[in-house]
């Protein structure tokens, strides 16, 4: 039955992971699921004949029928559950963020102690578009990213937009360029009248160690659809993501293609390939090819610097903790 996986947290993301593991990942069996909502746990378990319900995350992690753990529960639980996985010496794929603060993230990294047990869910690294984009880069000079969504989640503010959404672009920029982000400057102009308590859109300038200057636009309430763009300006060419569309329609005076309503259909392939790569590495006892704890720590440090820039009124803020990590 291959790798026996337990999934903690069965919200939209966790349920998707569970189904993907069950239906589309070779060499994995979901044996346990857990959710603080017992009804939800029962509902998902009913879909997955191989899976039974664990009473809580801690119990799931310690279960001898669980070889590896996926954490998709509330952000606040990520650090303690990841620590429990480390305690149990079990590989864990944790959705970002690894921890609520840089300090606690660093603490988790310290506990990992180089064992390579932690993988972070920066799934864009497995999106076939991003993979082809990275392969097409030569002598990069500028990266432009655009992340537009339909609607921000409840309680979103400018800071959580950065730590929850822009953080994906921070990770991809560093990953695409193979160079860590060293400083970031935050800006906002006119705001959407559809939102309150949130700068939306936000615009950031990001500098990486290789000197490349990048722009990051995050617009969570763009309404029209979920649209992720990334363009890399190189010395003598430009390469960008194509829109991942399957059909084109002529109707009502328009030629059109469709946008996904949210990130899950857009990145379904990326999630599947990320899970497959993770399961393969666990099965082979090889290092995980996913983003690791250090990547998560660095991305969080960039997000913190962006928030600090926002609070300072737009100055470039150094990613201070980078060297020490």
Residues 245-264 touching a second copy, rule: CB under 8 A, are 245-259, 261
Options 112, 280, 295, 304; binder of a second copy; rule CB under 8 A: 280
* Burial class for 229, CB neighbours closer than 10 Å (0-12, 13-18, 19+): middle
CB of 222 to a second copy, least distance (A): 7
Residue 103 binding a second copy, by CB under 8 A: no
Q: Which of residues 39-98 bind a second copy (CB under 8 A)?
A: none
Asked if 46 and 299 touch (Cβ cutoff 8 Å), the reply is no
CA 223 vs CA 149, 200, 227: distances in Å: 7, 12, 10
CB of 107 to a second copy, least distance (A): 34
Residue 193 binding a second copy, by CB under 8 A: yes
Residue 201 binding a second copy, by CB under 8 A: yes
Between 159 and 205, CB nearer to a second copy: 205
The residue among 82, 85, 122, 123 whose CA lies nearest residue 99 is 82
**Is residue 318 helix, strand or coil?**
strand
CB of 108 to a second copy, least distance (A): 31
DSSP string of 31-82?
Answer: EEEE-SSHHHHHHHHHH-TT-EE-SSHHHHHH-TT-SEEEE-S-GGGHHHHH
* Cβ neighbours of 20 (radius 10 Å): 19
Q: How far apart are CA 325 and CA 321, in angstroms?
A: 6
Residue 276 binding a second copy, by CB under 8 A: yes
Asked if 31 and 52 touch (Cβ cutoff 8 Å), the reply is yes
Residue 141 binding a second copy, by CB under 8 A: yes
Task: Name the segment binding a second copy (CB under 8 A); options: 80-88, 116-124, 151-159, 234-242.
Answer: 234-242
Task: Name the segment binding a second copy (CB under 8 A); options: 61-69, 116-124, 128-136, 295-303.
Answer: 128-136
Residue 116 binding a second copy, by CB under 8 A: no
Q: How far apart are CA 99 and CA 65, in angstroms?
A: 27
Site string for a second copy, 3-42 (x = CB under 8 A): -------------------xxxxx-x--------------
* Cβ neighbours of 282 (radius 10 Å): 23
Q: How far apart are CA 230 and CA 234, in angstroms?
A: 13
Q: Which of residues 160-179 bind a second copy (CB under 8 A)?
A: none
Options 80, 100, 116, 225; binder of a second copy; rule CB under 8 A: 225
Residue 196 binding a second copy, by CB under 8 A: no
Residue 189 binding a second copy, by CB under 8 A: yes
Report which DSSP code applies to 124.
Answer: G
Task: Name the segment binding a second copy (CB under 8 A); options: 79-87, 198-206, 285-293, 301-309.
Answer: 198-206
């Amino acid at each position: 039955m291959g790798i026996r996986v337990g999934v903690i947290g069965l919200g939209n993301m966790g349920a998707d992971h569970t189904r993907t593991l069950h239906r589309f990942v070779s060499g994995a069996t979901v044996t346990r699921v857990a959710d603080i909502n017992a009804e939800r746990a029962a509902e998902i378990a009913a879909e997955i004949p191989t899976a039974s319900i664990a009473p809580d995350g801690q119990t799931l992690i310690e279960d001898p029928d669980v070889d590896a753990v996926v954490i998709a529960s509330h952000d606040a639980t990520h650090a303690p559950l990841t620590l429990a996985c480390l305690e149990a010496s079990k590989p864990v794929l944790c959705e970002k963020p690894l921890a609520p603060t840089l300090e606690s993230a660093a603490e988790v990294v310290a506990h990992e102690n180089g064992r390579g047990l932690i993988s972070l869910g920066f799934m864009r690294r497995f999106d076939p578009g991003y993979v082809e984009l990275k392969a097409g880069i030569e002598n990069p000079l500028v990266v432009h990213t655009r992340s537009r969504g339909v609607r921000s989640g409840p309680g979103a503010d400018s800071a959580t937009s950065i730590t929850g959404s822009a953080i994906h672009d921070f990770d991809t920029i560093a990953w695409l360029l193979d160079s860590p982000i060293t400083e970031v400057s935050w800006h906002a102009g006119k705001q959407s009248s559809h939102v309150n308590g949130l700068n939306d859109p936000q615009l950031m300038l990001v500098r990486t160690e290789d000197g490349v200057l990048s722009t990051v636009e995050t617009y969570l309430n763009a309404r029209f659809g979920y649209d992720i763009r990334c363009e890399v300006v190189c010395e003598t060419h430009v390469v960008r993501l194509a829109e991942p569309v399957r059909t084109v329609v002529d109707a009502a005076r328009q030629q059109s293609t469709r946008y996904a309503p949210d990130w899950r259909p857009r990145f379904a392939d990326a999630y599947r390939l990320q899970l497959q790569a993770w399961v393969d590495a666990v099965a082979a006892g090889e290092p995980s090819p996913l983003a690791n704890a250090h990547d998560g720590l660095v991305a969080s440090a960039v997000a913190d610097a962006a928030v600090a820039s926002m609070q300072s009124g737009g100055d470039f803020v150094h990613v201070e903790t980078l060297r020490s990590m």
